[in-house]
Amino acid sequence: MDSMNEAIKSLRNPMDLNGKSAIVTGGNRGIGFGISTALSQRGARVAILCRDIEDGRRAAELLNNDGGEAIAVLCDVSETEAVKAAVAEVWERFGRVDILVNNAGISCCKPFLELDDDLHEFTDVVDVNLYGAMRMSHACAKRMAAAGGGSIINITSVGGFVCNIADIQPMAGYSASKAALNHMTRALAVELGASNIRVNGVAPGPTHSNLDDMMSDEFRKMVSTETCTRRFGEPLEIGAMCAYLASDEAAQITGSVIAVDGGILVKS
């Protein structure tokens, strides 16, 4: 279908992303690579935007060896000019971008009163997690609108809904940035709907990623008792939800933030 919001006519080939092009920020490892893998396996061309270009190229090579078409592009989402340059490069190489997944994120697991006095450990997290998604969305949405539409997917967190583990896993900046990203998702869905751009969020619960080293032993133990599934999620499971939200099957879904969390929110 040419229209990103046209009603589907069949479910014979679900989540078909053939002919579509995607950007995944931080798509070279952890949850980001799970998302890149899922989109690639469903047929999308994938541009992995990352700060470590060599690692990005290795990730792209893995997707290409698996039958996909992927490239790596250097980008730091905390820098506006870098974002503009990266989006322009992807657009030139792919000719269009139908899907943007704002996945790049950082965290700081540290009690609030122990943060550095200039609060960079807080503001840096917000700059990447929230403003980075804003910069990417602004750069891509203008082009998407001119091309007829698209799908933007923000990777948020259940930490943007609840703070029930703040005592054992203090991440005030991370939680604040994800809560704001949840609401930005809804606001942009309203604003960009007229441009045929859907905007949704995926809120992972405890999921294995490159942030695993920040997890305390107490937190790891909590996952086995406080999630309905009694386990951590895997990156490809987040990727599966992104592939669905990017597909024609989700054409009537916008402004939603969907938890993929093993049921941890319902037990909070």
Instruction: Specify the higher pLDDT residue, 116 or 150.
Output: 150
Find out whether 37 and 240 touch, Cβ atoms under 8 Å.
no
Give the length of the chain. 268
pLDDT of 208 reads 87
State mean pLDDT over 64-80.
98
| Domains and their CATH numbers in the chain | 21-260 (3.40.50.720)
pLDDT of residue 224: 84
131 counts as catalytic: no
Average of pLDDT values for 7-15?
Answer: 92
**Considering the chain, what is the average pLDDT of its residues?**
93
pLDDT band for position 3 (cuts 50, 70, 90): low
Confidence of residue 138 (pLDDT cuts 50, 70, 90): very high
| pTM beyond 0.85, yes or no | yes
Structure tokens of 199? Answer: 């905007």
How far, in Å, CA of 218 to CA of 165, rounded? 10
Predicted local distance difference test score (pLDDT) of residue 211: 66
Q: What is the reported pLDDT for 43?
A: 98
| Catalytic residue of the set 33, 91, 94, 174 | 174
Per the listing, tokens 């060599």 go with 54
Query: pLDDT: is 97 or 224 the higher one?
Result: 97
Encode pLDDT of 188-245 as tens digits: 999 999 999 999 999 999 998 876 776 778 878 888 888 999 999 999 999 999 999 9
Coil, strand or helix: which one is 42?
coil
Q: Which residue type occupies 70? A: A
DSSP bridge pairs for 200 = 153
Place of tokens 């490892």: 29
Q: Which of 75, 256, 56 is nearest to 151 (CA)?
A: 256
CB contact at 8 A, 8 and 210: no
pLDDT band at 1 (very low <50, low <70, confident <90, very high): very low
Specify the pLDDT at position 55: 98
Helices (H), the chain: 30-41, 53-65, 80-94, 120-126, 132-147, 172-192, 217-226, 235-246
Pick from 152, 83, 159: nearest CA to 125: 159
Indicate if the pLDDT at residue 2 is higher than 60: no
| CA pair distance 34, 141, nearest whole angstrom | 24
Q: Above pLDDT 90, what percent of the chain?
A: 76
Q: What's the confidence (pLDDT) of residue 47?
A: 99
pLDDT at 107 exceeding the cut of 60: yes
CA dihedral 166, 171, 176, 177 (to 10 degrees): -140
Q: Which amino acid is at 252?
A: Q
pLDDT at 111: 79
- What pLDDT score does 222 carry? 84
Selected residue with higher pLDDT from 220 and 94: 94
Reply yes or no on whether the pLDDT at 163 is more than 90: no
Q: Which pLDDT value is given to residue 4?
A: 59
- φ, ψ for residue 121, nearest 5 deg: -65, -20
